[in-house]
Structure 1
Amino acid sequence: MGVVTYELEVTCAHPPAKMFKAFVLEADNLFRKVLPQEVKSGELLEGDEGVGSIKKVTFVEGDKTTYLKHKIDAIDKENFVFCYTSFEGDFLVNKFEKISHETKWVPSPDGGSIFKSTTKFYTLPGFEMPEDLIKYHKQKATNAVKAFEAYLQANPDAC
């Protein structure tokens, strides 16, 4: 097994508390509103939304991935930190043992925020992570953050 790591930073116009609430705390409801072309549903399978809880995200037909399950590893509402591990889903088959995500929203000098993410892909023996797959994931994450930013701009009372 190998580990491929990438880091990402995305700036946003909204403060960390607002982005964290929308992107993390209200994700199950908002992802399908904000990204209806990609996310079909999000559901809590086990737990109380806290550490150890297991969630399933189902994607719309036609996406490369139909579903992913992840376990919440850490959630810090005061410091806007959310860590989770994707451990099951068709995207992982024959490629990855798991994918871990460490995310944090920090204040930016202009009153907005910066989304900081470190993602680690734990590859299965024999699978070489192509560079275009890393670029694809970075773009998907950036697009999601920017879509939430636009949604909150258009719906200021949403969170």
Structure 2
Amino acid sequence: MVAGSVSNEVMSQVAPERLWKAIVKDSPNLMPKLLPELVSSIVILEGDGGVGTIRQSNFTSVAKDFTYWKDRVDAIDDQKRVFNYSVIEGGLIGKKVKSTSFELKFEPAADGGSVCKFNAKFEPMEDSLPTEEVTKEIMEGMTGMFKAIEGYLLANPGAYA
């Protein structure tokens, strides 16, 4: 089977510790608050947020291709600020891809901000790589959510400090 991946690196003025707390530790509360037009809720179905936790993200009608996805936390390293998860149901699973996994990594930048690295790996439905349009869609979704959280943190310097 042919596998694909797409990566992006984003510079942020926000310190890695704050991004980690907001994006990884508190996304079930923060995402519906910041993006109510897209994310209606994020519910922990089982687990405590650590490895093996299953979450369901529910989306509004703005998400044209799906209404929800369930993901599983595969790895979480608070010291290195690396978070891995896999979408196990819903989303683009069964429509455009057979499987999708993500890695988020937050590293300190020289200016006190962060270098945020996003990587998505996927197994396409067919024996060929997904089109550039599909890979762009995957990365734009991740980057858009990141930018919403970053904007909130910049506007609220005391949040997640």
Looking at structure 2, the residues matched to 152 and 22 of structure 1 have their Cα atoms a distance apart, in angstroms, of: 8
Q: Does 1:145 align with 2:146?
A: yes
> What is the DSSP-based 3-state SS (H/G/I as helix, E as strand, rest coil) of the residue aligned with 1:105?
strand
Counting only pairs closer than 5 Å after superposition, residues 19-38 of structure 1 correspond to structure 2 as 19-38=19-38
* TM-score calculated relative to the size of structure 1: 0.93
- Asked if structure 1 preserves the Cα contact closer than 8 Å seen for 2:3 and 2:124, the reply is yes
- Asked if structure 1 preserves the Cα contact closer than 8 Å seen for 2:2 and 2:127, the reply is no
The alignment covers a number of residue pairs equal to 159
Fraction of identical pairs, as percent: 38
Partner residue in 2 for 1:40: 40
Q: Can you list the C-alpha shifts for 1:72-94, whole angstroms capped at 9, x where unaligned?
A: 00001111110000010042124
> What is the DSSP-based 3-state SS (H/G/I as helix, E as strand, rest coil) of the residue aligned with 2:3?
strand
* TM-score calculated relative to the size of structure 2: 0.92
Looking at structure 2, the residues matched to 109 and 128 of structure 1 have their Cα atoms a distance apart, in angstroms, of: 36
Moved more, 16-25 or 127-136: 127-136
- Asked if structure 2 preserves the Cα contact closer than 8 Å seen for 1:10 and 1:145, the reply is no
Partner residue in 2 for 1:106: 107
- Asked if structure 1 preserves the Cα contact closer than 8 Å seen for 2:37 and 2:62, the reply is no
Q: Does 1:12 align with 2:12?
A: yes
Paired amino acid for 1:38: L
**Structure 1, unpaired ranges of 5+:** none
Looking at structure 1, the residues matched to 7 and 129 of structure 2 have their Cα atoms a distance apart, in angstroms, of: 19
The root-mean-square deviation of aligned C-alpha atoms, in Å, is 1.4
> What is the DSSP-based 3-state SS (H/G/I as helix, E as strand, rest coil) of the residue aligned with 1:5?
strand
> What is the DSSP-based 3-state SS (H/G/I as helix, E as strand, rest coil) of the residue aligned with 1:97?
strand
Looking at structure 1, the residues matched to 3 and 40 of structure 2 have their Cα atoms a distance apart, in angstroms, of: 30
